Amino acid sequence: MISTVLTLPCGAVLKNRLVKSAMTERISNTNFEPVKGHERLYEDWSSTGAGLLITGNVVIDRKHLESAGNVCFDDEKMLPKLKSWAQAGKKYGNHIWVQISHSGRQTNKFGTSRPLAPSEVQLKKLGLFGKPKAMTEQDILEVIQGFVKAAKLAKESGFTGVQIHAAHGYLLSQFLSPLTNIREDGWGGSIENRSRLLLTIIKEVRKVVGADFPIAVKLNSADFQRGGFTEEESLEVVRMLDKEKIDLLEISGGTYEKLAFFTMNEENSGLKESTKRREAYFIDFAKKIRAISTIPLMITGGFRSYDFCNEVLTDGEVDLIGMARPFITNRDQISDFLKGKLPRLENLILRTGFKQFEDAAEGGFYARQIIRFSKGKGLKTNMSPLWCSTFLIMYEFRKAIAKKF
């Protein structure tokens, strides 16, 4: 089943059901443009045979970066470089979609000390994030146009779809959450109002890309924080998305304060035993979505065995299998996995022994591997977990300084 084609509502056809989910590349040049490393990365990932590759965070605002190495789709002058990236990424007949995002309050201080956000609710983690400014109506309208322009550039460049990032605590996720959106105007309060920005962006993007261009959304099942975005609210948003006829819904979970997508593979992750046995982190929530929506569905996180992937696809629990870290640690095995020659992709877990550093260690380890791949180097597993835990802060600092000077 994993090797069968999937026709999306817009008519686009994916050659199989395996997807490389978004992972931040962090390798743009000082003008926020893609580099040859992007082409090398995505041509290699294209060669794995996966039906769809989704890029890492492509931002719409240079002041609101998820990483100092983000590409920013905001200038037609970079079209030649974007075209080269897109061409390399679809070399072997797969789709390549651009994940479009705005970091909001999750923009670190290397980018801005006063990030824009729905409300002035500060992210307090390692002292890296400034107190945000509540967005004005004009700010919100500019964000909408930023997403629209990025989607337009993606299509003109030859990318074959876009994914609107409304998960993991980034700006659209912040609007959805009552913990970070305490506005009292038409953009806050009820779940309908908190969903308004996401839905408006989808409508406006559809106008510029047309009916036959895939639009996907990445959505949290929950924030996993007290007072945050809940499963019940997520299902309400899914009902609204169902009416917009988007082409794919990817389910994930967590924010910078609760990195569920990093730490769910811990022994004491809090997952139900039934979920652990069934590999995929959000598979139980997928059943609830199936009951209310016909949107093609993708789950990312936890998939490792060939038989289980085929089981959930055959049973109709999901339409696509999303994987991220295996496209780093098991990159050279993906092709054999797709063909059924390899029954399982072994999971690599990096641990420092200090709970407060675990998510930073994993993030640093995978970031270093992607940077290595972009330079044509191979996987290196014997990295110090403690060094990896400090890597991102040092790397962000160096990249930010380089861009300023």
* CA proximity to 134, closest of 121, 122, 117, 115: 117
Note the pLDDT of residue 208: 98
Q: Could you give the percent of the chain with pLDDT greater than 90?
A: 77
Q: Could you give the percent of the chain with pLDDT greater than 70?
A: 93
Note the pLDDT of residue 279: 64
264 pLDDT exceeds 60? no
Mean per-residue pLDDT, 217-239: 90
Let me know: does 346 contact 339? Beta carbons within 8 Å.
no
259 pLDDT exceeds 70? no
| Phi and psi, residue 108, nearest 5° | -75, 170
Note the pLDDT of residue 353: 74
Let me know: does 322 contact 250? Beta carbons within 8 Å.
yes
Q: Give 258's pLDDT tier (boundaries 50, 70, 90).
A: low
310 pLDDT exceeds 50? yes
Helix, strand and coil in the chain, % to nearest 5:
40, 15, 45
- Please tell me whether residue 139 adopts helix, strand or coil conformation: helix
Taking only the tens place, the pLDDT of each residue in 30-54 is: 999 999 999 999 999 999 999 999 9
330 pLDDT exceeds 80? yes
Note the pLDDT of residue 205: 98
Note the pLDDT of residue 242: 96
CB atoms within 10 A of CB 36: 16
* CA proximity to 54, closest of 25, 84, 83: 25
Note the pLDDT of residue 228: 86
Residue with tokens 């839905």: 199
Region for 249 from its dihedrals, namely left if φ exceeds 0, alpha if ψ lies in -120 to 50, beta otherwise: beta
278 pLDDT exceeds 70? no
Range with the poorest average pLDDT among 114-118, 301-305, 329-333: 301-305
Q: Give 268's pLDDT tier (boundaries 50, 70, 90).
A: very low
Looking at domain 6-349, which of 3.20.20.70, 3.90.1150.10, 3.40.50.620, 3.40.1640.10 is its CATH number?
A: 3.20.20.70
Cβ partners under 8 Å of residue 402, min gap 6: 30, 68
77 pLDDT exceeds 80? yes
Q: Which residue has the higher pLDDT, 401 or 338?
A: 338
Taking only the tens place, the pLDDT of each residue in 367-383 is: 999 999 999 999 999 99
- Please tell me whether residue 52 adopts helix, strand or coil conformation: strand
Cβ partners under 8 Å of residue 42, min gap 6: 53, 55, 85, 88, 89, 96
CA distance 173 to 54: 19
Mean per-residue pLDDT, 126-145: 94
Taking only the tens place, the pLDDT of each residue in 191-203 is: 999 999 999 999 9
Q: Where are the alpha helices (DSSP H) in 4-133?
A: 36-46, 79-89
